[in-house]
Amino acid sequence: MKGSTAIAVGAAVLVAAAAVVSGVKSAVGGSGSDDAGTTTATATATGGTTTAALPVGDVRRLPPLSAGEYEGRLVLYTGADCRPLIVDLAHIQTTAPSAMSPACIVWVSPGLEMLAASVPPPNEHELMTATAVTGPPVPSGVDYDPGNTGALTVSDSGAVATCDGSQVVVGRNGRGRVVRSFTPLDNGFDERCVTGALGRSVVRLGDDRKSLVDVATGRVVRRLATPARPSIVAIAASSDGLVLIADTEDGTPQGTVYGTNGKVAIPRQPIGRGVTVRKVVLAKGGAAVALQSSRGWDITSLTNGHALVSPGGARVTDVAFSPDATAVAETTDAGVVFADLPELTPRLFLDTPAKAVAWFSPR
C-alpha cells in the first residue's frame, strides 16, 4: 500500500467477521410522517442461504445490522420497480410509505431537505423532486438522460440542474429553462457543464476561478481563497456548508475541500479512479467523499486516505453517509453494507438489496 491509503476491498476485510455471523434481522423502520405504510416481518441474513455455503469474503458473511447500531432513517429503493422502504435504525421494522415516489436513482440536496429522483422505466427520463423524507413527487421540469455530461444537481430549494454537453438547464416545479449555452470542446469533458448546490442556490465556478456564482444570475455565492485547479468535474457541498471541488488536472479525480470562509479546509487529494463523474456526495465536516464514475463507486476518507471500493467484490449501486458523518451505507445487489468512518472497513450487513439509498436524521 502507498502512504496512508488503504483500499478495503475483496475478501480480506470480511474474513475476520465471518465467524461471528449468524442470522440477520432486516432493520427497517418508521417514516417520520403520518403517511400510512406497510410493516413486514424480519428477514434472514442470507435470504435462505446458510453462511457456510457462502464464498469466503461474501458481504453476506458480515454480522447482521441490529437495532440501535446507528442513528437516523435509511431510505432504500428496492426491487425492479424501485419502491421505497424506510428504515428507522432504532428499530427493526420495514415501512413502505404510500406517498413516496419510486426512484431507481436518487439525489439528495446538501441540507438533506429535497430529493430528486429518476423514476422506473419506461419513464426514466422523467425527473421528479420531493420534500424529504416522504413528500409527494413533483415534476422538476428537467428531463434526465444518464448520458448527460457531469453530475446532476439538486438544491435545498428543489431546483435541479443538468447539462447535455452544450446547455445547462435548471428546472423547478415543472418548469425548466436554459441558463447557460456554449459550444462544447472537441477534446473531452467541458467544465462549463459542472454545477453544484450550495444551500438553496445552484452554483458554478466563476470565471475568475476564485468564486462560486449563481448559475442563472452570476451573483457570487461564495468566494474562494485559492483558485480552483483546471479541469473541474464536480462541485459538491456537505450539510454544514463545506464545498468539495473535484478536478482531473492530473488525470484522475482529485478533491479540494473549501470551508465556509472560502479557505482550503482539506488539501487536494485523490478521491477516485474514473474520469466520467456521475455523482458525488460529501459527508458532513468533509469527513469523507463518495464519487461515482464510469468505473463504479469510490469512497475515500479525507482524514486518513483510506478507501472503500466494491466490498467483497459486490456491485455497489449507491452510497449515503450518515447525517453525523460517522458511517456510510452502500447498497449492493446482495444487500446493504455498513462501514464506520474514518477506517471504512465493512462492518455490518442488512439483507435488503437496493438500487438507491438516502440517509436522514431521526424524526
pLDDT at 212 over 80: yes
> What percentage of the chain carries pLDDT values higher than 90?
74
* Mean local confidence (pLDDT), 230-254: 96
Q: Is residue 2 part of a domain?
A: no
Return the pLDDT at 50: 62
Grid cell of 280 as nine digits: 458525488
State the greatest distance between any 2 C-alpha atoms of the chain, in Å, as a whole number.
60
DSSP annotation of 59 reads: G
Report the distance separating Cα 49 and Cα 100, nearest Å.
32
Host domain of residue 295 = 7-360
pLDDT at 191 over 50: yes
CATH number for the domain that contains residue 236: 2.130.10
Strands (E) located in 182-238: 196-198, 201-205, 211-214, 220-223, 232-237
Number of residues that this document lists for the chain: 363
Report the distance separating Cα 204 and Cα 206, nearest Å.
6
Q: What is the pTM of this model?
A: 0.86
Report the distance separating Cα 352 and Cα 38, nearest Å.
16
Q: Is residue 233 part of a domain?
A: yes
Return the pLDDT at 146: 77
Q: Is residue 105 part of a domain?
A: yes
Closest by CA position to 70, among listed 278, 275, 326: 326
Q: Is residue 137 part of a domain?
A: yes
Q: Is residue 250 part of a domain?
A: yes
pLDDT digits (tens, 9 = 90+) for 317-329: 999 999 999 999 9
Report yes or no: 93 and 43 within 8 Å, Cβ to Cβ.
no
pLDDT at 118 over 90: yes
* Mean local confidence (pLDDT), 147-168: 91
Q: Is residue 178 part of a domain?
A: yes
Report yes or no: 328 and 320 within 8 Å, Cβ to Cβ.
yes
Q: Is residue 1 part of a domain?
A: no
3-state secondary structure at position 214? strand
Domain count, the chain: 1
